[in-house]
A and B are shown apart, each in its own frame.
Chain A
């Protein structure tokens, strides 16, 4: 058994995933560490991975001329980072950077897309999980847009 499998099984993002699928996707995963300040990925580069945070937190940044890097959101332990590997043109729209030292699972997007294409049930299962995360973040961004704490 790949040693990552039991670790993945415990992660909230994969909880309840059938063990046969867990085994399949473990083949596309590796375990990495990064230091605070290191980039997981940079805006504009090819998006061929996604990350699952085991420990630490990551921020999504957008570079804005004159203001420098603006943090859009920080993503804590237990969450996932990166959807751009799912959709053409497979390019990062934001940069992802470690806020603290982080431990991550990194998934090879090409490998995972291949497995999802081969087995639509796995694809659907993963897509449901990604959609759930995306919906949460979309709702949060919409509320953020209201600039709630501004004087009415």
Chain B
């Protein structure tokens, strides 16, 4: 290699130990629903905020309690804050929900594969989320909206348990009012004043406005929901190579070392969590792997 070429090379980046958490300070904790909250976090000790791609996750470490994978739910275009949306279900997530502004936690990441937002320009995009599954898809929505002119029709189909469990209400309302977005929300059960749709999110697919021959679908939710959703998408005529799903598996290292997240032959932390349906289809209907 010539000296001139060498001079142009950037200084080698200092390699971070992927197993070593960075300190983040909690700036804000806001309850989105009865059991789900969003955290705004800032890196400490003058560290930079790492860039992330829509669909990637961090390993979040609550000191003295434990470490879990949580998707990044903020805007990939913003580098001033890290946002995680978490449902309080057990030991670590509850401990997170009890943290106070100013408390610190450890973050490793971002890890994993991303929604192929930039690779699917010129296509119609249908985003289908169930429950907390909207959190990992929100960054994809932000990214699409930031470069809206590059996409065909953009449709968001979202299913939640009850009207009170609908995440990001304010944003959904705003997206709904945009002329170039089709947003449909449905709940499994409703009483009283809910004027929206009641029924499974899969039932919205049949009439959603997209051209199946030129559509890419991104799906995240409970596995059974994803199974029925992919079936419905195929019925509508979307090629299974154009369907992407995000998988959840228990994780320890998050970087492909321990095998904890293995699903069939796939290490979900490294080859996933976002995977092509065609690659995972044979595993989706298996009871246990």
Q: Which residues of B, 106-140, contact A by the 8 Å Cβ criterion?
A: 130-132
Q: With a CB–CB cut-off of 8 A, which chain A residues contact B225?
A: 143, 148
Question: Which of these, B165, B190, B194, B203, contacts A140 with CB under 8 Å?
Answer: B203
Question: Which of these, B189, B194, B200, contacts A143 with CB under 8 Å?
Answer: B200
A77-B203 contact, Cβ under 8 Å, with A67-B191, A71-B194, A148-B131: no
Which 7 pairs show the lowest CB-CB distances between chains A and B?
Answer: A149-B131, A149-B161, A71-B198, A148-B222, A74-B197, A140-B200, A74-B198
Interface-centre pick from B130, B131, B161, B203 (highest chain A CB count, 10 A): B203
Shortest distance between the CB of A73 and any CB in chain B (Å): 5
A148-B221 contact, Cβ under 8 Å, with A74-B197, A99-B195: yes
- B207 CB-CB contact with A under 8 Å: yes
Question: Which of these, A67, A144, A148, A151, contacts B89 with CB under 8 Å?
Answer: A151
Question: Which of these, B35, B130, B191, B203, contacts A148 with CB under 8 Å?
Answer: B130
Question: Which of these, A99, A139, A149, A151, contacts B188 with CB under 8 Å?
Answer: A149
Q: Which residues of B, 179-195, contact A by the 8 Å Cβ criterion?
A: 186, 188-192, 194-195
Q: Could you list 13 A-B pairs, sorted by A, with CB under 8 Å?
A: A57-B197, A70-B189, A70-B191, A71-B189, A71-B194, A76-B207, A78-B207, A149-B159, A149-B161, A149-B221, A149-B222, A150-B161, A151-B87
Q: Which residues of A, 36-73, contact B by the 8 Å Cβ criterion?
A: 57, 59, 67-73
- A147 CB-CB contact with B under 8 Å: yes
Give the interface of A toward B (CB within 8 A).
57, 59, 67-74, 76-78, 99, 136, 139-140, 143-144, 146-152
Give 4 new A-B contacts, CB below 8 A, not counting A148-B131, A149-B160, A149-B161.
A140-B202, A148-B130, A148-B188, A149-B165
- B63 CB-CB contact with A under 8 Å: no
CB-nearest residue of chain A to B200: A140
Q: In the complex, how many residues of chain B place their beta carbon closer than 8 angstroms to a beta carbon of chain A? A: 31
- B224 CB-CB contact with A under 8 Å: yes
- What is the bound-complex CA distance between A72 and B130, given in angstroms? 18
- What is the bound-complex CA distance between A69 and B192, given in angstroms? 7
Q: With a CB–CB cut-off of 8 A, which chain B residues contact A74?
A: 186, 196-199
Q: With a CB–CB cut-off of 8 A, which chain A residues contact B186?
A: 74
- What is the bound-complex CA distance between A151 and B87, given in angstroms? 9
- B31 CB-CB contact with A under 8 Å: no
- B168 CB-CB contact with A under 8 Å: no
Interface-centre pick from B130, B190, B197, B198 (highest chain A CB count, 10 A): B198
